Amino acid sequence: MRRKEQDRIARMDADFQRRKELAEYSMRREERLKAAEERTAKKRLKRQKKKQRKREKKSVTNADGEQKKKEESSDEEGDSDDEEVAAK
């Protein structure tokens, strides 16, 4: 009887230890996944900002190019300076 009880306690201890290790592993895994997701989100935001700046720069360049074309055409027509000031 004593041996049976000792075996039962040993199995319970082993089971408890296994569950404890599994819980710790799951917790560490979740923390690593969360940290990885945060890093990914931070880098994603950085890429999006970079793309946005690039789009804004491109649109400003296009707008300046269109503006220059308008100014050149108005200069060729001999219009007053009021239109150029309004365009700027």
| Each residue's pLDDT tens digit, 13-49 | 999 999 999 999 999 999 999 999 999 999 999 999 9
Structure-token pair, residue 3: 């041996």
- Of the two residues 47 and 69, the one the predictor is more confident about is 47
* Distance, C-alpha 57 to centroid of its chain: 21
Alpha carbon distances (Å) from 69 to 22, 45, 74, 88: 69, 36, 9, 13
Confidence of residue 67 (pLDDT cuts 50, 70, 90): low
